Amino acid sequence: MDMHLNGRTALVTGASRGIGLSVVRALAAEGVRVVAAARRPTPELSAAGAVPVAVDLADPDGADRLVREAAAELGGIDILVNNVGGGDGGLTGGFLGTTDAQWAEVVDLNFFAAVRVTRAALPALLTSRGSIVNVSSTGARVPHSGPIAYTTAKAALTAFGKALADEFGPRGVRVNTVSPGPVRTAMWESETGYGAELAASLGISRGDLVAGLPAAMGMLVDRLIEPDEVASLVTYLASPLAAATTGADHLIDGGAVKTA
């Protein structure tokens, strides 16, 4: 399907792998010129046709520098995808096992990074009457489904998107949120990721944990979600085909969340 995005411009954060890389590829396939931000840009980003920018968005000055470079490279910004996130390693100890430093790191990466990038990019997005898509998590709605600091930060990100849509919708900027369930990314598949740590804490193998995850989370499909599936939804929401859609939180969770 033609998303009518040819010639538009986009800034994607957290773009080096997983959902972010899939979003870059999906947008580029629609003819979008993409600046892709990552702490460590990968060859895959250049191969996808994006302009990689190395930036650590945990650095308070990183967002302003990133947006300046993106606007200069692209001549403006039509689409912002706030995908950067993670930092969930070492968080299997529950609330009492999560330190202030861990809370600060996780909330900064999963919430404040999006706040800072959005603040820096909004002047350009107001000029272009553009679109923002924030990548949150079903953990925002079902907080017990992941580390408490991570799901709390994602809940803040979801609320942030709704508030932005209300404030800037009348000025032409659409804001939507995509909330995936468990996606087939390094978070679950890496031998050093959160999935491996969780499996070890439960005394089972990572493979057994991942295999049982869809059923354990109440999903109605018997597999993890593919990054490309999330990217397709992000691309649609960023496109003119979704011109009347704003302020919404779109689940892509295989039916895991049963409430409206």
For position 1, what pLDDT does the model report? 80
- Which residue, among 227, 185, 89, has the nearest Cα to 146 in the 3D structure? 89
Reply yes or no on whether 150 is catalytic. yes
Q: How does residue 88 score in pLDDT terms, banded at 50, 70 and 90?
A: low
**What's the rounded mean pLDDT across residues 168-193?**
93
User: Lowest-pLDDT range, 20-24, 142-146, 168-172, 177-181?
Assistant: 142-146
Quick: pLDDT tens for 26-77.
Answer: 999 999 999 999 999 999 999 999 999 999 999 989 999 999 999 999 999 9
Q: Is the pLDDT of residue 226 over 80?
A: yes
What's the distance, CA 222 to chain centroid?
23
Which is the catalytic residue, given 111, 150, 160, 236?
150
CATH class (in words) of the domain with range 9-181+226-250: alpha beta
Q: Is the pLDDT of residue 87 over 70?
A: no
Taking all residues of the chain, what is their mean pLDDT, rounded to a whole number? 94
Backbone angles phi, psi at 79, to 5 degrees: -135, 135
**pTM for the model:** 0.95
Written as six digits, the tokens of 103 are 């809370």
77 and 10 in contact (C-beta within 8 Å)?
yes
How do the domains of the chain map onto residue ranges?
A: 9-181+226-250, 184-224
